[in-house]
Amino acid sequence: MNWDDTTEDTAPERLVGSVADREDQAVEAALRPKDLGEFIGQEKVREQLDLVLRAARARGATADHVLLSGAPGLGKTTLSMIIAAEMGAPIRITSGPAIQHAGDLAAILSSLQEGEVLFLDEIHRMSRPAEEMLYMAMEDFRVDVIVGKGPGATAIPLELPPFTLVGATTRAGLLPPPLRDRFGFTAHMEFYEPAELQRVIHRSADLLDVEIDTGGAAEIAGRSRGTPRIANRLLRRVRDYAQVKADGRITRAIAEAALKVYEVDGRGLDRLDRGVLEALLKLFGGGPVGLSTLAVAVGEERETVEEVAEPFLVREGLLARTPRGRVATPAAWAHLGLTPAQGSGQQDLFGA
């Protein structure tokens, strides 16, 4: 968090929040696998990436550029760090929104060391001028720096040391083909199965020195939305509950009680998810309703509903997008224990 130097931001709640964020980040960093052997799940991606890295090491060359796509929390950042570790190279981390000008990218690229890994998160949100500069950097390890303006502007070529770009995106479809084609290896990361998440939870519990049985791990895994990051976050919250309300050991009963306190239901829906469904069912009879109207009804920004709640609800078969708006499915009515309203918008699911 960056605070204005001219303002006294010493309010206790801000300081506490900042400390809590740093502690969470420290815990997450401690739980990250350090090599491909420790990384759980994504078997195909791990196998393919292992071949790419082994071959590069055998040639004594830098690894090809890597593009990782998939939903947030599946391990894209972790894999970028593993790539650097496996290649014995340093890593530089930045993101697309932070690179709004070609000069921003040129400054980063010109300071890279030979063999260094540049992790560019949310690469689809990079500005177009920077994106065009990246084409040449990836292919020829060179950028043209423009000096001056107008007719007198001069392009000065700047040679770059060989490096490996690891791009991460949650929306691969937004990447232009010329950029996608410059990656030597692309991988799509899938959501995790409950059994894989149980392995993640048991590993994290060992690192956190938390005792957890099979039932407790299964309960947390079943509510983690197929995402390791969420599984680790829920594990830490259940650990807190077990330490305060019980003997510190996590069982299925303890996990159920803890997740009820934190408003995470049996399918992994949280307060926002249920709020969206309840508004859709109770206020709009199941839809169809426009996204903006739905967001106002739950008191959230449109982007929050669209990017945070909606993908999971659609994947769970509880909500559908139709040309006329969002529509609740029969499963949504059943999940909340409600009876479909007469004349609800369910027919929109079938294009009627």
Q: How many domains does the chain have?
A: 3
Query: Which one from 170, 227, 251, 329 is the annotated catalytic residue?
Result: 170
pLDDT of residue 150: 57
Tell me, what's the pLDDT at 351?
45
**Antiparallel, parallel or unpaired: β 91-95 and 319-322:** unpaired
CATH number at residue 102: 3.40.50.300
Looking at the fold, whether 89 and 169 belong to one and the same domain comes out as: yes
Which position among 62, 121, 164, 223 bears the catalytic label?
A: 121
Contacts of 55 (CB under 8 A, 6+ apart): none
Reported for 291-296, long-range contacts at CB under 8 A and 24+ positions apart, including other chains, are: 291/325, 291/326, 294/326
- The reported pLDDT for the residue numbered 13 is 47
- 145 and 115 inside one domain: yes
Among the options 77, 164, 169, 227, which is catalytic?
A: 77
Can you tell me the distance from the alpha carbon of 176 to that of 181, in angstroms, rounded to the nearest whole number? 9
Q: Do 70 and 143 reside in the same domain of the chain?
A: yes
In this prediction, residue 157 carries a pLDDT of: 75
**What does the buried/exposed string (b/e) look like for 33-48 if buried means 16 or more CB atoms within 10 Å of the residue's CB?**
beebeebbbbeebbee
Residue 8 belongs to some domain of the structure: no
Largest CA distance in the chain: 75
Candidate list 62, 76, 182, 329, residue with the active-site label: 76
Residue 352's pLDDT is 40
The answer to whether residue 229 is catalytic is yes
What single-letter amino acid sits at 192? Y
DSSP 162: -
- Given 137, 171, 188, the domain boundary residue is 188
Enclosing domain of residue 338: 271-350
| 7 assigned to active site | no
| CA end-to-end span of the chain | 49
Query: Do 133 and 169 have their domain in common?
Result: yes
SS3 at position 75: coil
Residues 41 and 178 in one domain: yes
Query: Which of 188, 206, 230 is the last residue in one of the domains?
Result: 188
Does residue 204 belong to any structural domain of this protein?
Answer: yes
Residue of 25, 27, 28, 1 lying closest to 14 (CA atoms): 1
State the Cα–Cα distance between residues 117 and 97, nearest whole angstrom: 19
The count of other CB atoms within 10 Å of the CB of residue 152 is 7
Catalytic residue flag (residue 169): no
Residue type, 177: P
Residue 170: active-site member: yes
Which contiguous run of DSSP H or E holds residue 56? helix 43-59
| pTM of the predicted protein model | 0.80
Closest C-alpha among 228, 169, 168 to residue 193: 228
Catalytic site includes residue 77: yes
Residues 64 and 82 in one domain: yes
CATH number for the domain including 251? 1.10.8.60
- The per-residue pLDDT for 337 is 85
Residues 73 and 131 in one domain: yes
Q: Which residues pair with 246 in a beta bridge?
A: none
Q: Is 230 part of any domain?
A: yes
Nearest to 246 by CA among 201, 220, 216: 216
The residue from 226, 261, 296 where one domain ends is 261
Which residues is 167 bridged to in the sheet? Answer: 67, 120
| 204 shares a domain with 292 | no
Closest CA to 104 of 67, 64, 73, 133: 133
User: Three-state DSSP class for 142?
Assistant: strand
Instruction: Considering the candidates 225, 229, 274, 326, report the single residue annotated as catalytic.
Output: 229
Q: Is residue 2 part of a domain?
A: no
Indicate which CATH number applies to the domain containing 337: 1.10.10.10
Q: Is 4 inside any structural domain?
A: no
159 & 201 share domain: no
Per-residue pLDDT tens, the chain, 352 aa: give them: 334 443 444 455 444 555 545 656 666 777 888 888 889 989 999 999 999 999 999 999 999 999 999 988 898 999 999 999 999 999 999 888 888 888 788 888 888 889 999 999 998 888 888 888 888 888 888 877 666 565 656 667 788 889 999 999 988 888 888 888 889 999 999 999 999 999 999 999 999 999 999 999 999 999 999 999 999 999 999 999 999 988 889 999 999 999 999 989 888 888 888 888 989 998 888 879 888 888 898 888 888 888 888 888 888 888 988 888 899 999 989 888 888 765 555 544 444 4
CA distance 184 to 236: 37
Q: Is residue 14 part of a domain?
A: no
Asked whether residue 164 falls in the same domain as residue 310, the answer is no
Residue 21 lies in a domain: no
- Phi, psi (deg, nearest 5) at residue 224: -100, 10
**What residues are paired with 66 via a beta bridge?**
166, 185
Tokens for 302, please give them: 């449109």
Angle at 27 between CA 26 and CA 31, to 5 degrees: 120
Whether 94 maps to a domain, the answer reads: yes
Residue 207 and residue 117 in one domain: no
Give the E-state strand segments of 55-188 in sequence order: 66-69, 91-95, 117-121, 142-147, 154-159, 164-169, 185-188
Q: Quick one: 104 and 163 in the same domain? A: yes
